[in-house]
Structure 1
């Protein structure tokens, strides 16, 4: 309104400014603060465990930075994208690890006569005996002080051949020299087992050929 005495505009107490001519965006040249949630989203998205948090913070950051009300929209968007990628990769890794773990022949679960192959890490994995496979478990047990001492002093073939109760078919396979003998144990240092450590012996063809059937079964076949 106009002041009748001086012609200058006057304002009612408490009256606010008129509509923002910039359509809700801050005027040109004004300083816009960075959005903390957007930065936090980017940081969290870079870690596997916090990736879901990063995705949630990123979505919130996108909302908070729309219409340039706050800076850092790029960080919010990047947090969502990177967080989703890390989450997918993390889930894929855990699924892969679970599958590999279910196929691994663990020392506590191995059984005599079990057929095995080896994975890309050279660890023994379960195999079907009716199909060509690399080896067969010939003895399962635990180290005591005497076995641990013998294990350190002799070859793997001598050690496994001398184990009590070894099936004659497996003893003959070791004696033939056609098979390589290997030992898997849950010892911290496999060359220095301790009393109570679980282990198993298994054999593989020395010429690299695969086995079909079980070595201790009548009519077993060697070669793929």
Structure 2
């Protein structure tokens, strides 16, 4: 077509598509492998630190338009950080709980204890109100296993050799409930060599104050 104002029309040159559609023949940026790996690793507890590192590397590698998959790198970094913080919190919590737990092979007679939300005995100060007091510690042997299977917990602990008279009197009074803690896999079926301890709690559910032996001495004075 001839331009009525003189000269020819300039040749048609397509510009950017205003509607965002892809231009035929355009090459899409490839997905970044590190970004995808960051996302996968961040979902695994043990590999969360690796996911964090890969996420940072993926963010750098997907800057600009060189590679796609930036969303995976960012998600992997964020999820990896959250998983790592949760793992650290769990380790700290487990360490604190472990340090407070009264282990069967470490308990001592006269030790005051409380009970945590899992029902496990934990260390307590005898000066403050507490749930119970350890009255005997030892390990199961064939003779004790035979008695343990035939009598109640109160009778079993009351008949243990070397039980202090004050603790025996507390059991006979009926004012205290008697419990047994053992390190056996099945507490109802202990085996020879398993460590255990007996402890008492008030039957009315109230806390103890001070040690039973100290209270007995004060009452007899």
Query: What is the TM-score when the length of structure 2 is the normalising length?
Result: 0.85
1:65 to 39, 62, 65: 62
TM-superposed CA distance for 1:53, in Å, is 0.5
TM-superposed CA distance for 1:68, in Å, is 2.2
For the residue of structure 2 that corresponds to 1:165, the secondary structure is coil
For the residue of structure 1 that corresponds to 2:192, the secondary structure is coil
TM-superposed CA distance for 1:56, in Å, is 0.1
Q: Distance in 2 between matches of 1:129 and 1:209?
A: 14
Instruction: String of CA shifts for 1:22-78, please: whole Å, max 9, x gaps.
Output: xxxxx9531222111111101111122111100000000011111121111101000
For the residue of structure 2 that corresponds to 1:68, the secondary structure is coil
Query: What is the aligned partner in structure 2 of residue 150 from structure 1?
Result: 147
Q: Distance in 2 between matches of 1:199 and 1:168?
A: 20
Q: Distance in 2 between matches of 1:47 and 1:219?
A: 59
Query: What is the aligned partner in structure 1 of residue 4 from structure 2?
Result: none
Query: What is the aligned partner in structure 2 of residue 209 from structure 1?
Result: 206
Query: What is the aligned partner in structure 1 of residue 17 from structure 2?
Result: none
1:127 to 118, 124, 128: 124
Query: What is the aligned partner in structure 2 of residue 41 from structure 1?
Result: 38
Query: What is the aligned partner in structure 2 of residue 219 from structure 1?
Result: 218
Give the aligned CA root-mean-square deviation in angstroms: 1.2
For the residue of structure 1 that corresponds to 2:213, the secondary structure is coil
Match runs of 1:9-158 below 5 Å: 29-158=26-155
Aligned residues: 194
User: Which residues of structure 1 form unaligned runs of 5+?
Assistant: 1-26
User: Which residues of structure 2 form unaligned runs of 5+?
Assistant: 1-21
For the residue of structure 1 that corresponds to 2:98, the secondary structure is helix
Instruction: Extract structure 1 runs of 4+ deviating beyond 2 A.
Output: none
Match runs of 1:150-189 below 5 Å: 150-189=147-186
For the residue of structure 2 that corresponds to 1:60, the secondary structure is helix
Query: What is the TM-score when the length of structure 1 is the normalising length?
Result: 0.84
